[in-house]
Amino acid sequence: MAVAEQQTLVSTPASGSRVPTVIVDDVHIVYTVYGAGTGRGTATAALYRLLSRKGSPNVRRVHAVRGVSFTAYRGEAIGIIGSNGSGKSTILRAIAGLLPTESGKIYTDGQPSLLGVNAALMNDLTGATNVLLGGLAMGMSQEEVRHRFKGIVDFSGINEKGDFISLPMRTYSSGMAARLRFSIAAAKNHDVLMIDEALATGDRAFQRRSEERIRELRKEAGTVFLVSHNNNSIRDTCDRAIWLEKGELLMDGPADDVIKAYEAHSGK
């Protein structure tokens, strides 16, 4: 079902000149999985293979992204949709420079930040320390982090039910951790910010704050990619959507149109 070979690009806010921030050109990504299948993945077996100079018999290749191309521009928020395993996280990891491509090229302007990886949080440290470290890791000065600290904590809503920010992160639910991660990442303006299902964990109020912040980030001339299972969240924040299925790009166009086609396809 090749809905869109050519790319229908949606107009950006009235700026006139369109500056590309991410160019994905006919990209293929293949994972190599070792020791797949049989129960022979023991250390002894591996040593034996090394000594006998035979390759692993159980290498499997997973062709996760198959010839995907698109260009993202400044000021765009692009939703990435598709069923589980369609390659959404994989393409974002590749844009962030965390995965090599098998073939094809990815060009980016500035350093793209993938939420949840760039802001890797430490479980044994308090939320407060993680805010500080996360801020420093994103290139803020200590002054700047101190200045933004309260804003970040308030945004996350972590302290709504008591003083949790001074407790170690391991005492947080996964939802709280995800909210804090988003709040830290969103405190900075990014050239390219990629959010992979990080919003799903929050309550409605947090989701609204997040969507509002995504709109702001776009206005500050960045590009935002959003993967979410909540199609309404994409409808509300993105003007453009890309639909991946089995590693292929099925459709690229106005968010409303693409989501409609996706919902018709998946029977929602």
Q: Which residues lie near ligand ADP (CB under 6 A)?
A: 31, 33, 62, 64, 82, 84-90
Q: Return the one option of ligand ADP, Mg ion, none that residue 34 interacts with (CB less than 5 to 8 A, by type).
A: none
Contact 268, 105 (CB under 8 A): no
Query: How far apart are alpha carbons 205 and 238 in whole angstroms?
Result: 19
In the bound state with Mg ion, the residue whose beta carbon lies nearer, of 144 and 248, is: 248
Q: Return the one option of Mg ion, ligand ADP, none that residue 33 interacts with (CB less than 5 to 8 A, by type).
A: ligand ADP
In the bound state with Mg ion, the residue whose beta carbon lies nearer, of 132 and 244, is: 244
Q: Return the one option of Mg ion, ligand ADP, none that residue 64 interacts with (CB less than 5 to 8 A, by type).
A: ligand ADP
Query: How far apart are alpha carbons 41 and 16 in whole angstroms?
Result: 57
Q: How far is the CB of 256 from ligand ADP (least distance, A)?
A: 21
Q: How far is the CB of 59 from ligand ADP (least distance, A)?
A: 11
Residues in CB range of 28: below 8 A, 6 or more apart: 63, 65, 66, 67, 101, 102, 103, 104
Query: How far apart are alpha carbons 38 and 182 in whole angstroms?
Result: 39
Give the H or E element holding residue 146: helix 142-156
Contact 126, 167 (CB under 8 A): yes
In the bound state with ligand ADP, the residue whose beta carbon lies nearer, of 90 and 207, is: 90
Query: How far apart are alpha carbons 178 and 252 in whole angstroms?
Result: 28
Q: How far is the CB of 5 from ligand ADP (least distance, A)?
A: 21
Can you tell me whether residue 207 is helix, strand or coil?
helix
Q: Are strands 248-254 and 240-245 parallel, antiparallel or unpaired?
A: antiparallel
Q: Where are the beta strands (DSSP E) in 3-115?
A: 20-33, 60-73, 77-81, 103-108, 113-114
Contact residues: Mg ion, CB under 5 A: 88-89
Contact 22, 192 (CB under 8 A): yes
In the bound state with ligand ADP, the residue whose beta carbon lies nearer, of 64 and 176, is: 64
Q: How far is the CB of 99 from ligand ADP (least distance, A)?
A: 9
Residue 182 tokens, joined: 């988003």
Q: How far is the CB of 87 from Mg ion (least distance, A)?
A: 8
Q: How far is the CB of 224 from Mg ion (least distance, A)?
A: 17
In the bound state with ligand ADP, the residue whose beta carbon lies nearer, of 116 and 135, is: 116
Q: How far is the CB of 250 from ligand ADP (least distance, A)?
A: 13
In the bound state with ligand ADP, the residue whose beta carbon lies nearer, of 59 and 122, is: 59
Q: Return the one option of Mg ion, ligand ADP, none that residue 38 interacts with (CB less than 5 to 8 A, by type).
A: none
In the bound state with ligand ADP, the residue whose beta carbon lies nearer, of 98 and 137, is: 98
Q: Return the one option of Mg ion, ligand ADP, none that residue 47 interacts with (CB less than 5 to 8 A, by type).
A: none
CA separation (Å) from 240 to 25, 107, 114, 207, 211? Answer: 18, 20, 19, 19, 15
